[in-house]
Structure 1
Amino acid sequence: MNALAARFNAIFGADMAGPLAALAAVLVVFGFASPHFLTGATFGSVAFQLPELGVLTLAMLMPILTGGLNLAITFTANIAGLTLAWTLQANGGVDAGPGAFLLGSALALAVGAASGLVMGLVMGLVIAFTRAHPILVSLSMMIFLRGLGEFLTRGGDISGFPTFVAPIGHGSILGIPVPLLILIACVIASHVLLSRSKLGFSTYMIGSNIESARYSGINTRKVLVLVYMLSGVMAAVAGIIMLARFNSVRVGHGESYLLITVLACFLGGINPFGGFGRVLPVFVALIVLQLLSSGLNLLGANQHLTTAVWGILLIVVMVLRWFSAKFIRIVK
């Protein structure tokens, strides 16, 4: 048994056991509960709905690894979407000609990503140089972005975009949804960044002990600023996907995703105090949460019950972690 566990850990990593067990449990329970669960339609629905939540979770992941949190990810995504929408409309909107189409598309995507980067930069600078708690800084940024967005849009939607935007939210390549391909690309990029780069190593070091990281020669301020900048860019990518999927953008889009991104990180084995965790288990945890939502929908549960189940699941994860830590301590 120990040899089997050791082999599993060597192949997948010890932190993959929980997400894979949860995935198996969801497949078995809902597979028996509904004859329509284990079908192509269900998995197609998951592939369509997962990307924006997945990219937002990646935006939350890196700040948590440093021992922080970014509560502004959803509103960063919405402001990035609004920036993209205004840039598209300024370059011809729906009636854009070929020249304006090419220039406007490149410019709009760049401006949308840049807006997320700037918001992350501001948070990173405040956190790094004032040592204010990331929860307070990101909460302040969230309130600011929400108020700014409501003021600029007067609480309404912005819609009417060129035809090239639609495939980002609804297109497919070889039968694979384009948003899912974007998510997979972001997962791979995040995995490589955290596991193969100096920035990734420094991120884990800061999450483990920021003072030790500082004394070991790591420029902790620079790393924190870069982490929140990357978080902002990732949130902006999610905002672009949401704009393309809904063919409109407003300040409140995706607001309910915020706590689910935290749940996905913890279910995926991320240490809530930072310093430990990987991208791939979090990706599996995202699939579990989306399958759970689809299974409850098939059983006739409304969205409010799904949200309640997600909340209970977060509490269960915390309790199980506490029990596992106690068990390991007793065994040792």
Structure 2
Amino acid sequence: MEKKKTFDVKSLLKISSNNKKLLGMLILVIIVLSIATGGSFAKIGQFQLIAYLFPEMGVLALGMMLAMVSGGIDLTVIAVADLAGILSCLLMKAIMPADASMPVQILVLLVTLAFALLIGAVCGLFTGTLIARVGVPAMVATLGASDIILGIAVGITNGSSIKELPSILYRVVNFELFGLIPGTTIVFIICAALVAFLLNKTATGFKIYMIGSNATASEYSGSDNKKILTLTYMISGMLSAVSGLLMCGHFNSARSDFGKSYLTPAILICVLAGVNPNGGVGKVSGIVLAVIILQSLSSGFAMFPSISDYYKNLIWGLVLIGIMIINVVTATRKKKS
């Protein structure tokens, strides 16, 4: 007699050990910052600010995670975000009619988004081709490609800002659902859901994990590693482009240095989330928790004027190295046991 399938609530609510640690860390961060600021950090407005700001860094971290899961790294995410934002804003200014109606403005915004995704995909194709087909190591390829892409962005703008953008981008980015949930958070949820679906529910996602775990075994199993790697960096580029548009909407302008402070945090988020720098391991749920923790710390630091941005960079670097040391020591102990 066939056994009936039952709905397993326990398996649905099961949380990984790494995510339990991240949840504990998040609670600890909120408690400590709330005490240190005399309760100011625990206000609803502060949490709304965190929800508004973290998606810019979070979407970049999703792209970085895909590259790291495949066994590489993508140092072009900032440059791609800046270039896609600049070119998209130029396009939007050029094609937006004066006194355009709301439907027309929305249509122009959708065209701008499609164009940004195209720019991100092209940049990712260039980087992915260098890595997968030419054979350049990921760190060297993405570092060189980053300089090229950033150079193009600076050349287009001459280092100045693109201002007087159509108001639709600013309004969408600053939109609040039910007056509570920022539009940027909605964008991040959509991106995170799509990446989670890709990794967990598709053959392509399985192959990305396979390549990161053992590229040789993946090749022998029939996987086209070159194609999958190229696609991985193209998706990373598209996510970077989305982040670039969020930054432009946030500042209501476009510039070639908006995301310059996000590279180290993006890598830190991935490491904190449990993504293995050697590839094969990483979950979107960890990225979500890690980026909220990091943005909470960043927003908490901003409440103390004595902590300058230079100290923040020092702190991020120390935390990144510290977490990697802890991960290596933990992995070594597990192997010995």
Shorter-normalised TM range: over 0.9
Whether the 8 Å contact between 1:67 and 1:274 is mirrored in structure 2 is yes
Unaligned runs of 5+ in 2: 1-9
**Distance in 1 separating the partners of 2:107 and 2:21:** 47
**Distance in 2 separating the partners of 1:96 and 1:209:** 56
Using the TM superposition, give the Cα deviation of residue 118 of structure 1 relative to its aligned residue in structure 2, in angstroms. Answer: 0.7
Aligned to 1:65: 69
Using the TM superposition, give the Cα deviation of residue 85 of structure 1 relative to its aligned residue in structure 2, in angstroms. Answer: 1.1
Aligned to 1:327: 333
**Distance in 2 separating the partners of 1:96 and 1:241:** 24
Secondary structure at 1:201's aligned position in 2? helix
Q: Which amino acid aligns with 1:11?
A: K
Per the normalisation by structure 2, the TM-score is: 0.91
Alignment partner for residue 163 of structure 1, among 161, 167, 173?
Answer: 167
Aligned to 1:4: none
**Distance in 2 separating the partners of 1:245 and 1:127:** 33
> Which string of whole-angstrom CA distances, capped at 9 and with x for unpartnered residues, describes residues 120-170 of structure 1?
111112211112101111111111111111111111111112221112321
Change (3 A) 1:101 1:168: closer
Say how many residue pairs are matched: 324
Aligned to 1:141: 145
Q: Is 2:215 the counterpart of 1:210? A: yes
**Distance in 2 separating the partners of 1:189 and 1:317:** 28
Q: RMSD of the TM alignment (CA)?
A: 1.9
**Distance in 2 separating the partners of 1:147 and 1:244:** 22
Q: Which amino acid aligns with 1:281?
A: G
Q: Is 2:55 the counterpart of 1:56? A: no
Q: Which amino acid aligns with 1:90?
A: A
Aligned to 1:23: 26
Aligned to 2:190: 185
Q: Is 2:260 the counterpart of 1:260? A: no
Using the TM superposition, give the Cα deviation of residue 24 of structure 1 relative to its aligned residue in structure 2, in angstroms. Answer: 2.5
Change (3 A) 1:136 1:326: closer
Using the TM superposition, give the Cα deviation of residue 8 of structure 1 relative to its aligned residue in structure 2, in angstroms. Answer: 10
Alignment partner for residue 279 of structure 1, among 278, 284, 294?
Answer: 284
Whether the 8 Å contact between 1:168 and 1:245 is mirrored in structure 2 is no
Q: Which amino acid aligns with 2:284?
A: V
Unaligned runs of 5+ in 1: 1-6
Q: Which amino acid aligns with 2:225?
A: T
> Which string of whole-angstrom CA distances, capped at 9 and with x for unpartnered residues, describes residues 238-295 of structure 1?
0111111111001111111011100000000000100011110111011111111122
> Which string of whole-angstrom CA distances, capped at 9 and with x for unpartnered residues, describes residues 286-307 of structure 1?
1111111122222332222222
Aligned to 1:89: 93
Q: Which amino acid aligns with 1:207?
A: G
